[in-house]
Structure 1
Amino acid sequence: MPDKPTTIANPWAHLRQLTPARIALGRAGASLPTDAQLDFQFAHAQARDAVHLTLDIDALAKQLQAKGFSTLHLHSAAADRGLYLQRPDLGRKLDEASAERLTEHAEQHAAGYDLIIVIADGLSALAVQRHALPLLQRIEEQMHQDGWSLGPICLVQQGRVALGDEVGQRLQARMVVMLLGERPGLSSPDSLGLYFTYAPKVGRTDADRNCISNIRLEGLSYNLAAHRLLHLMREACRRQLSGVTLKDEAEMLSLDDGSPNVGNFLLG
């Protein structure tokens, strides 16, 4: 008589084709099947590695310069990764040397810029390494169509979201965009986040920013993320604000216009 299978399949297993979420994994007795348990442990290890991975700032700067971007190297007040993870407040402000570097640059460019883009490691340097450059190229392409001026790309080690406001204020920028690695999930260790602020200055809160998240190959595409950002920039300049009072309607507008690469699989 053949042995009974040790793993009992879940009748909803076909739904896993629609989502990377861990659903309908089946069971072995009262526990998860061995394959599912090992996959979970592997994903957890990837997430932990992403948090502690060091961003190669020099390599990223060379890639940016090869594409025609100018760069500035900066550092937050968090001296190392350990301090950065334990003291979030230090990751939200520049160290003295970086602040002086920006002051000197601003004196030489008194007119300021329409947009400053800050790239920081955040909680996933892996996300920055994989996605920052291709996203930046899409943003620059669409910016030129509107005639906005772009300042040097500021590369920050051990930086958090709010640090972008200080950078934008010191460089007299009309708007600032912060690109950084988001907190890794168990299915997305390389998710890039984008935070947009109009009239940046120290003291801005999360309510003053607009966030576009999950930018990666398996999530929000580079083209759509850039499209949504440019829509926010245009509306922010028209209304002179950003944050919770500025709604992101770019995706809805694109659906009405029939633009490619924009949609919802539920409407297909």
Structure 2
Amino acid sequence: MSDEPIVTASPLGDWRRATPARLALGRAGAGMPTDEVLRFGWAHAMARDAIHAALDLPALEAALRAEGFEPLQVRSRAPDRTSYLRRPDLGRQLDPGDAERLRALGAAPADVCIVIGDGLSSLAVDRQAVPLLAALRVHLAPELSLAPVVVVASQSRVALADEVGEALGARLSIMLIGERPGLSSPDSLGIYVTHAPRRGRHDAERNCISNVRPEGLGHAAAAFKLGWLLREALRLGLTGVELKDHSDRDLLDSL
């Protein structure tokens, strides 16, 4: 009987300790090892569930209130998850009744409004949104004013924050939204910052911070970048391709 192992290990196996990416899987004959096939099935199921699972709104609202934020629920014009996935345009528009509710708040214009959207991963919002906002507090200038509510949007796309910011009269909108799940990252949060939010803004007019999760860009590091972007956006009066992220320079200078 041969002493040769059934599974041929990859010489790149040591790399796996440095990344959750699917590399150095090894082989069993002409195929993958059984444990890797099972891991792939599990990762695919996690990504699928992250897209289709509903956001736990009561738990999110309770966590926001515990951090001193007042949540307000709204919806997009997508009536259900199937419509949301098939009609991205509906996820970019507020339900007409919710748009009226926001305009009726009558609050004084604020520097920043915060929107939390389920996006393509409710799991990301459940795990990352509130810890990120808690970490952001220390990076907000005392004179910076926040809108009176944190808007929690169901069946939402990134551009929904434009209409929310416009309705609240905010100078900047922040959208925290679940990113499209990957096979090693079903809970990744994206952050989008838009100056002078209004309907019709396009992606080149936003700044994005991606892969916010403990295994990617941690909450503290993401909050530092976000705080820097907010200050610079208000100082320069713009976001998007004209606002370059030089936050790393400030971080190095502070060490």
**TM-score normalized with structure 1 length:** 0.92
Alignment of 1:7 onto 2:11: no
Aligned pairs (5 A) from 1:1-268: 1-105=1-105, 108-109=106-107, 111-143=108-140, 145-151=141-147, 152-258=149-255
| Amino acid corresponding to residue 9 of structure 2 in structure 1 | A
Structure 1 spans left out of the alignment, 5+ residues? 259-268
- Structure 1 residue 3: Cα displacement: 4.6
Q: In structure 2, what is the Cα distance between the partners aligned to 1:67 and 1:23?
A: 39
- Structure 1 residue 67: Cα displacement: 2.3
Q: In structure 1, what is the Cα distance between the partners aligned to 2:188 and 2:246?
A: 22
Q: In structure 2, what is the Cα distance between the partners aligned to 1:236 and 1:43?
A: 38
Structure 2 spans left out of the alignment, 5+ residues? none
| Amino acid corresponding to residue 190 of structure 1 in structure 2 | D
Q: In structure 2, what is the Cα distance between the partners aligned to 1:256 and 1:29?
A: 53
3-state SS of 2:46 partner: helix
Q: In structure 2, what is the Cα distance between the partners aligned to 1:142 and 1:257?
A: 13
Task: Name which of structure 1's ranges 57-66 and 76-85 shifts more when overlaid on structure 2.
Answer: 57-66
Q: How many residues align?
A: 254
Task: Provide the aligned C-alpha RMSD in A.
Answer: 1.2
3-state SS of 2:32 partner: coil
Q: In structure 2, what is the Cα distance between the partners aligned to 1:9 and 1:60?
A: 44
| Amino acid corresponding to residue 30 of structure 1 in structure 2 | A
**TM-score normalized with structure 2 length:** 0.96
| Amino acid corresponding to residue 61 of structure 1 in structure 2 | E
